[in-house]
Structure 1
Amino acid sequence: MRKQERARFVMAKLEELYPEVPIPLDHQDPYTLLIAVLLSAQCTDVRVNKVTPHLFAKADTPQKMIGISPEAIREIIRPCGLSERKAQAIWDLSHILLDKHGGRVPQSFEDLEALPGVGHKTASVVMAQAFGVPAFPVDTHIHRLANRWKLTQSKSVTKTEKDLKQVFPRDRWNRLHLQIIFFGREYCPARGHAPDACPICSVIA
Structure 2
Amino acid sequence: MTARGDARALLYRGIASALKERGFTKVRGTQRFVRAVAPGVEAQIGVASSAKGSADHYLVDPSVGVLVEEARDLLARWTRAEPAWTTLYLNIGYLPPEQGWSEVPLATVDDVPGALSTLLRDVDERAQGFIDSCHRPGYLADLIEAGVPALRPEELVAVLRALDGDVAGARRGLEALQAKVEASVSPSLRDLRVLEGCADHVRHLLDEASS
In our comparison, the structure showing a higher alpha carbon Rg is 2
Q: Normalized against structure 1, the TM-score is what?
A: 0.29
Structure with bigger helix share is 1
Structure with bigger strand share is 2
Q: Normalized against structure 2, the TM-score is what?
A: 0.29
